[in-house]
Amino acid sequence: TAHSQQPTAHSTNSNSLRRTAMFAPKMKNLNKGSAASNHNSTQRKSITHSVHTQTTAGDDSEYSSNGNSTKDTSESFAADTDDDMTNLLCERMAANQLEEGTETEQSKLISRLVQVKNRRRWEIQDSILDVIGQTPIVRLQRQPIPEGVELYVKCENTNPGGSLKDRLAMGIIEWAEMTGKLQPGQTVVEASSGNTGVGMAMVCASKGYPFVCVMSEAFSTERRKLMRFLGARVILTPKAHKATGMVIKAQELADQHGFFHAKQFENEANAWIHETTTGKEITQAFARQQKKLDHFFMAYGSGGTMLGVSRAFRKAAAQDKNKSAEAAAVANTRLHLCEPTNAPMVSSNIPTKYPEHGYPSTSFDTAHPVWSPHLMQGWATDFIPKLLAECKSEKGYHSVHQVSGGDALLCSQRLAQTEGIFCGISGGGILSAAIRHAQTCQPGTTILAVITDTGERYMSTALFDDIPLEMTEEEQALSNSTPSMAPPAPPALHGILPDNTDDLFGM
């Protein structure tokens, strides 16, 4: 596989996922050539000071690359992190990659200083943000796949906001804080089909930022209510304007009112939070079990998850497989991208063209020519996100699988009724593609699919069309099989309960 090596931040031992990331100096004033190279020693000192003074190690045991339990000290971690960070800086400076005012390069450097620490979720946490990530990987036992094929799901529906996008929200907000793009009390605005909006609403509520979500009226009503319950304001755009209209409206609001626009479809912090958390968790999980992951399935959405995970896998695979369990786990992993059957934009190989200086920067003249409405909310907007285009240019995935809405619905329902895992249409669609591929695999093959969100935000959608509200005939017959005797009347007691007590049976 033609992959370029991308260094990643180290993960360390602790009981919390760090919310306050380390500050790194802005890189706007760096010039090309010798000036950038001569800046190395000063920048190295700054990064070293930042890492050593702000990094601590916890007491939890961690597994080394060969699977053995080890204990890290703050000094050894800081030294390792310092080497990784400063080497990355020097390499990019020497390669003249740090151009003045380049936002993406700044976000790469800064986002890589966000340290992810292992912790136990059941322990006391300082904030709800401390329980984002570290989601479980579960082996499925009752799916229609050949005997000997191992099928796993990474349950991102267990994040506190109910979806994978909690990670994105935390990463972008942390990055904006570190770069000074987000000021205390400033309003955050983002275009979202709902999951990013819910994650942003949760993170902003925890951190004290007002949040405005711009969402098409086509998406489920539960998402609007969830965000508003979390204190967000929700601006609805016409269904006919599609996702492009959402992005344009969000930029309009940012320009008019001075809001911080998160820009999930192009913000590099989106990819890096998945490189340093999601991808790292997967490599560590399979390495600790001494398993090789053969196939990884994910839909693209904003493009950040596939881009970040692919980079994490490349980073691990670049190590010596004879010495690193993580390298052995993902060295030959094939990454599979899922898209809707009736919106095969990636398969069409027709790119979305972005103007260098447009209004807004994420807009374009027309929607993608092969896009059409589909059931998988958040899977495929009417344009190819910049992060996904970057993933393709890096050869971040190996194949594309198309999934119908009907298959996604059936797989979501089957997963709930056979495994007890409650997921939305998106997760069902990804798992559907994984199962279809598993049916062609030999025994011993290991497959991982991502369950992106919970099913509760789909109750007003086609996912629940066949789920009745009243008793079915079978349920009524079962009820009628016993007399349904009334409970005995309570004794007449007075003066015990206040007069305004809620009567739950009369509400």
First to last CA, the chain: 62
**Spacing of C-alpha 141 from chain mean position:** 25
At residue 327, φ and ψ (nearest 5 deg) are -65, -45
Q: Which of 132, 385, 104 is nearest to 278 (CA)?
A: 132
Average pLDDT over residues 109-130: 64
Q: Give residue for tokens 């695999």.
A: 441
pLDDT computed for residue 73 by the predictor:
32
- Candidates 107, 220, 426, 432; catalytic one: 426
More confident residue, 382 or 480: 480
For residues 215 and 224, what is the distance between their CA atoms, to the nearest angstrom? 8
pLDDT, tens digit, for every residue of 1-53?
333 333 333 333 333 333 333 223 233 332 333 333 333 333 333 333 333 33
Q: Using DSSP bridges, classify how beta strands 188-191 and 150-155 pair: parallel, antiparallel or unpaired.
A: unpaired
Confidence of residue 365 (pLDDT cuts 50, 70, 90): low
pLDDT computed for residue 122 by the predictor:
80
E strands present in 106-187: 116-118, 137-139, 150-155
More confident residue, 414 or 9: 414
pLDDT computed for residue 87 by the predictor:
43
pLDDT computed for residue 44 by the predictor:
34
At residue 462, φ and ψ (nearest 5 deg) are -60, -20
Q: What percentage of the chain has pLDDT greater than the value 90?
A: 54
Q: Nearest 5 degrees, angle CA 386-CA 387-CA 390?
A: 90
Q: Which of 357, 337, 355, 360 is nearest to 347 (CA)?
A: 337
Residue 314 has pLDDT above 60, yes or no: yes
Q: Which of 248, 246, 200 is nearest to 219 (CA)?
A: 246
- Candidates 108, 165, 207, 263; catalytic one: 165
Mean pLDDT of the chain: 78
DSSP per position, 334-391:
EEEEEEETT--HHHHT-PPP--TT-SSTT--SS--TT----SSTTT--SS--HHHHHH
For residues 260 and 197, what is the distance between their CA atoms, to the nearest angstrom? 14
Confidence of residue 195 (pLDDT cuts 50, 70, 90): very high
pLDDT computed for residue 506 by the predictor:
56
pLDDT, tens digit, for every residue of 322-331?
789 999 999 9
Annotated active-site residue 154? The verdict is no
Q: Which of 209, 135, 146, 225 is nearest to 174 (CA)?
A: 209
Specify the range with the lowest mean pLDDT, choosing from 67-76, 131-140, 290-299.
67-76
Residue 91 has pLDDT above 70, yes or no: no
pLDDT computed for residue 287 by the predictor:
96
Q: What percentage of the chain has pLDDT greater than the value 70?
A: 71
Is the N-terminal amide bond of 483 cis, ω within 30° of 0?
no
For residues 190 and 266, what is the distance between their CA atoms, to the nearest angstrom? 12
pLDDT computed for residue 214 by the predictor:
96
More confident residue, 56 or 448: 448
Average pLDDT over residues 306-319: 96
At residue 237, φ and ψ (nearest 5 deg) are -110, 155
Average pLDDT over residues 102-107: 44
pLDDT computed for residue 13 by the predictor:
33
CA-to-CA separations, 183 to 166, 174, 186, 212, in angstroms, rounded: 21, 11, 5, 16
DSSP structural state of residue 56? -
Residue 89 has pLDDT above 90, yes or no: no
3-state secondary structure 381-423: CCCCCHHHHHHHHCCCCCEEEEECHHHHHHHHHHHHHHHCCCC
- Is pTM beyond 0.85 here? no
Confidence of residue 497 (pLDDT cuts 50, 70, 90): low
For residues 426 and 339, what is the distance between their CA atoms, to the nearest angstrom? 10
Residue 354 has pLDDT above 80, yes or no: no
For residues 218 and 118, what is the distance between their CA atoms, to the nearest angstrom? 39
Annotated active-site residue 249? The verdict is no
Q: Give residue for tokens 């399979």.
A: 286
pLDDT, tens digit, for every residue of 232-263?
999 999 988 888 888 889 999 999 999 999 99
Confidence of residue 472 (pLDDT cuts 50, 70, 90): very high
Q: Using DSSP bridges, classify how beta strands 188-191 and 116-118 pair: parallel, antiparallel or unpaired.
A: unpaired
For residue 334, what are the β-bridge partners?
A: 295
pLDDT computed for residue 444 by the predictor:
97
pLDDT, tens digit, for every residue of 271-293?
989 998 999 999 999 999 999 99
Residue 201 has pLDDT above 70, yes or no: yes
**Helix residue ranges per DSSP H, 230-278:** 242-257, 268-273
Q: Which of 432, 161, 389, 142 is nearest to 298 (CA)?
A: 432
pLDDT computed for residue 184 by the predictor:
96
Write the burial class of residue 303 (CB in 10 Å: 0-12 exposed, 13-18 middle, 19+ buried).
buried
